[in-house]
Amino acid sequence: MGSNNGYVVTSRAKIFQPFDALTGLKEAILKKEMELHIVPPPELSEEKAEELNLLMKELRPGAIIKVTYRAKDGQYYEKTGAFSGIDEYKRALKIVKDKIYINDVINIETDVDFELNGVGF
C-alpha cells in the first residue's frame, strides 16, 4: 500500500470512523414515530364532515381525544392526547401543544383510553 505523509492508507482510514454526534437522537426519532401511527387514507363524506363539525363544537378542554388527520407529507396519522382548545385564527385543534388544522381532520374519537408511561387513564 502507498503511504501519505507517513500514514499507511489503511491506517489512515481508521481515523475516520463514524460516531454518533447526536447521542440519543435515533432513539428519540423512533419513539416519536411510534407515537404517530400511519393509517390508511379514509373517505370523508359530507355527513361525516357535518358530524365532525358538531363534535368539535362539543369538545371541552381536558377531554382525551384521538384525532386522525392528514399531515403535510400526505400521510394520515393518529394523535391521542388532551384536547386544549381550538385556535380560531389558524382554524386548528389543539392537543396539548400540538396543532392540527381542522381541514386536515378525518376523524375524532372521544372517551379513548390513554396510557402514559404504562399507566392507563
pLDDT tens-place string over residues 51-80: 988 998 899 998 889 999 988 887 888 998
Mean pLDDT of 101-112: 87
Counted residue by residue, the chain has a size of 121
- Would you state the pLDDT for residue 18? 61
**Dihedral in degrees, nearest 10, Cα atoms 38, 85, 96, 36:** 0
C-alpha cell belonging to residue 42: 379514509
The closest alpha carbon to 110, from 54, 70, 71, belongs to 54
- What is the percentage of the chain residues whose pLDDT exceeds 70? 62
CA distance 110 to 82: 10
Q: Residue 118: pLDDT above 70?
A: no
Mean pLDDT, all residues of the chain: 76
The closest alpha carbon to 78, from 109, 48, 102, belongs to 109
Amino acid at 48: K
Total Cβ atoms within 10 A of residue 59: 16
Q: Residue 32: pLDDT above 90?
A: no
Which numeric CATH code is attached to 37-120? 2.30.30
- Would you state the pLDDT for residue 112? 65
CA distance 85 to 62: 9
CA angle, 67 then 94 then 30, to 5° = 60
Mean pLDDT of 109-115: 69
Overall pTM > 0.75: no
CA angle, 81 then 30 then 37, to 5° = 45
